[in-house]
Chains A and B, each alone.
Chain A
């Protein structure tokens, strides 16, 4: 991931942009050409675009559905940050705590979070709390793990210098955190993407709010254009969430080569 992040900061050349635009155009043309003969099951991009406009602008059904789900995404995400950053920082700063909890965090990180959905229904009922909790579970580990890695990679000399100047406790914690900021920010960015996915999972696997209903109804009634418009809008929302947090990441990351 770090390599990709580093490379993606290189400005793409105009030739590359042409290729990328060409690739998108090609896919759209093929999609449009295939959609006709494929009949009901694949809506052409023009129909999806029309459904997008209808859902987001003129009608607004999709817009409202997305807004509702995003409330859960934001609440769960903030909770994940509030827990993941301090816990990850503590695990990164203390070798012993890190070693003690790493296996558990690794195992939970690998666990399919969505399998918890039936349990959350039992525990939280059909409530917003359950949805926020699922988003939290989706987002917290990537935030925690990246914070821990960043903090534990604080240069030894920096820590020793801070100690020599009499820093300890909270002061020392802040030195760690400052040095770890770029990677913490990476965790925050990835966590934002996970939060959007968690909100979708909550709509589909806990119980359907407006967004879940939108997707399920569109599928059940073969309104493929509406369905794909929802998928596309969700992707765009995910990209937007990553981009917003990415701005913060860029602000705290030192320029390349330093």
Chain B
């Protein structure tokens, strides 16, 4: 978020860098007698996880939990964050709750959430929700706070007030942050999915735990790669939307 001048486009240097690291991984893996499985083995394991269908169930289940939890986090986090940004009173009250819960380790709440929600869909969705919602709220809050007061004054001069001012000035001006909030929230939500599933040995978590039992590090790494792709693809899509719709934002 605070990362300003980082390069995002796929440059030749990036291709070389990624290629060199993959090569080092491959060579390193073979040299150490497969203590670290070489990248070709991991790619093979990923393909066979798909071919055998073992990945499909966890992927479908994980995406459902991800989608529900993420949507809930956006539905709550965006209005709360917007209120915190727009009003000092909301910032002091709601903001206090958000700040307290933001620093709470969601993982440490897992044994408690199990008691409250059992091990069904509700448990997964609430973990994903808790992982994402505070990041969404705080990013939106920052976005609304950073709107140039001059824009608001200009809007008022032209006769906008109340809802009109929010809809026509405040929202468009905070759009870059709104999309950034979605991106940050999505990455957090993927982490939430994994934490919940690993805790109760469901979905990806049960795959990972069974590969752990049989010391199948190649297959376990393939699952990690799958999760990485999920997070990277999702946030990449949102980033593309940022470029398309909010390219003028100060980023």
Interface of A toward B, CB cutoff 8 Å: 1-5, 7, 12, 16, 19-20, 22-24, 27, 41, 95-96, 98-104, 106-108, 110-119, 121-123, 145-146, 148-149, 152-153, 183, 186, 193, 196-197, 200-201, 204-205, 215-216, 218-220, 222, 224, 227-228, 230-231, 234-235, 238-239, 242
A236 to B21, CA, bound (A): 39
CB-based contact A1/B1 at 8 Å: yes
Residues of B within 8 A of A186 (CB): 2
Between A and B, 24 residue pairs with Cβ closer than 8 Å are A1-B1, A12-B92, A20-B92, A41-B115, A96-B13, A98-B7, A99-B7, A100-B20, A102-B7, A103-B18, A104-B18, A112-B191, A115-B204, A118-B211, A123-B35, A123-B217, A146-B2, A148-B6, A149-B5, A186-B2, A200-B105, A204-B108, A204-B110, A228-B112
Q: Beta-carbon contacts of B83-107 to A below 8 Å, as 1s and 0s?
A: 0000011001111110010011101
CB-based contact B212/A118 at 8 Å: yes
Q: How far is the CB of A1 from chain B (nearest CB, A)?
A: 4
Q: Beta-carbon contacts of B203-234 to A below 8 Å, as 1s and 0s?
A: 01000110110010100110110011001100
Counting from the closest, the 5 A-B pairs by CB-CB distance are A219-B111, A100-B17, A118-B212, A19-B92, A99-B13
Beyond A152-B5, A193-B103, A219-B112, whether A111 also contacts B145 by CB under 8 A is no
CB-based contact B115/A119 at 8 Å: no
Beyond A24-B96, A234-B108, A238-B103, whether A119 also contacts B2 by CB under 8 A is no
CB-based contact A235/B100 at 8 Å: yes
Beyond A16-B88, A96-B13, whether A115 also contacts B198 by CB under 8 A is yes
- SS class of chain A's interface: helix, strand, loop or mixed? helix
CB-based contact B5/A197 at 8 Å: no
Q: How far is the CB of A55 from chain B (nearest CB, A)?
A: 14
Option from B14, B115, B142 in Cβ contact (under 8 Å) with A102 = B14
Q: Beta-carbon contacts of B128-157 to A below 8 Å, as 1s and 0s?
A: 000000000010011001100000000000
Of A98, A100, A148, the most chain B CB neighbours within 10 A belong to A100
B51 at the interface (CB under 8 A from A): no
Closest to A236 in B: B103
Option from B17, B96, B217 in Cβ contact (under 8 Å) with A104 = B17
Of B105, B220, B235, the most chain A CB neighbours within 10 A belong to B105
Residues of A within 8 A of B20 (CB): 100
CB-based contact A103/B17 at 8 Å: yes
Residues of A within 8 A of B52 (CB): none
CB-based contact A149/B105 at 8 Å: no
CB-based contact A118/B88 at 8 Å: no
CB-based contact A219/B114 at 8 Å: yes
CB-based contact B96/A23 at 8 Å: yes
Q: How far is the CB of B56 from chain A (nearest CB, A)?
A: 18
CB-based contact B220/A119 at 8 Å: yes
Beyond A4-B141, A16-B92, A23-B93, whether A231 also contacts B108 by CB under 8 A is yes
Residues of B within 8 A of A20 (CB): 92-93, 95-96
Of A12, A96, A117, the most chain B CB neighbours within 10 A belong to A117
CB-based contact B18/A220 at 8 Å: no
Interface of B toward A, CB cutoff 8 Å: 1-8, 10-11, 13-14, 16-18, 20-21, 35, 88-89, 92-97, 100, 103-105, 107-112, 114-116, 138, 141-142, 145-146, 187, 190-191, 193-195, 198-199, 204, 208-209, 211-212, 215, 217, 220-221, 223-224, 227-228, 231-232, 235
Residues of B within 8 A of A239 (CB): 103
A224 to B112, CA, bound (A): 7
Option from A7, A102, A152, A231 in Cβ contact (under 8 Å) with B105 = A231
Q: How far is the CB of A129 from chain B (nearest CB, A)?
A: 14
Closest to A241 in B: B103
Closest to A201 in B: B107
Q: How far is the CB of B10 from chain A (nearest CB, A)?
A: 7
Closest to A111 in B: B228
CB-based contact B199/A227 at 8 Å: no
Residues of B within 8 A of A219 (CB): 110-112, 114-115
Option from B2, B21, B97, B224 in Cβ contact (under 8 Å) with A149 = B2
